[in-house]
Amino acid sequence: MRDTRELVVTGTSYIVVYKIDGATVVIAHLLHAAQLYPPDTP
């Protein structure tokens, strides 16, 4: 996903993938750190 940022949630094993759209934060994914990201897709 283009123009995204990643935020590691301190004290957890979660990562938030998000992007800024004007004054809005759009959360694209909430994933556990053990998951593969970005996914392997052709």
Each residue's pLDDT, cut to its tens digit, for the chain (42 residues) gives 678 999 999 999 999 999 999 999 999 999 988 776 666 666
Query: What is the model's pLDDT at position 33?
Result: 80
Single-letter amino acid, residue 9 = V
Distance CA 41, CA 20 (A): 25
pTM for the predicted model, two decimal places: 0.72
Query: What is the model's pLDDT at position 1?
Result: 65
Query: What is the model's pLDDT at position 34?
Result: 79
Q: Is 11 exposed, middle or buried (0-12, 13-18, 19+ CB in 10 A)?
A: exposed
28 and 17 in contact (C-beta within 8 Å)?
yes
DSSP 8-class letter at 20 = E
Query: What is the model's pLDDT at position 37?
Result: 65
